[in-house]
Amino acid sequence: MKEANVKHTRFNLFVWRKLPACREMVKIITASMDGRVSFKDWLRMKIHLLSCDPCVNFIKQLRFISGAVHQHQEQLFNDESLHLSDDARRRMRDALKSPHSTA
């Protein structure tokens, strides 16, 4: 994998000190893909992205995966080999209902 090109400019250092770390930004970025972020979080994300190449790459990867899934969505849902058997569905439903499930 290509190493991220992180520049230690004054702006970047300021942003890194004042805004949440990338781990927190990942939550905001993924929520933004669903359109569920406040204006404050959206603004924080945009400012963070100005200084963080790894997070920009993360967004590009998310968009690529999302586009690939949407492009092949109909094919995936019509492919009989991808459907669960009724027995498998029942076992999963039972496992999810059980509060002490370890499956």
Residue 52's φ and ψ, nearest 5 degrees, are -130, 95
Residue 31 corresponds to which amino acid? A
Say if CB 15 and CB 50 are below 8 A apart: yes
The backbone region for 56, taken as left when phi is positive above 0, alpha when psi lies in -120 to 50, beta otherwise, is alpha
What is the domain partition of the chain in residue ranges?
A: 10-97
For 14-69, the pLDDT digits (tens) are 777 778 888 998 999 999 988 889 999 998 898 888 888 889 999 999 999 988 88
Whether the per-residue pLDDT at 2 is higher than 60: the answer is no
Model confidence, pTM: 0.58
**What's the CA gap between 29 and 34, in Å, rounded?**
9
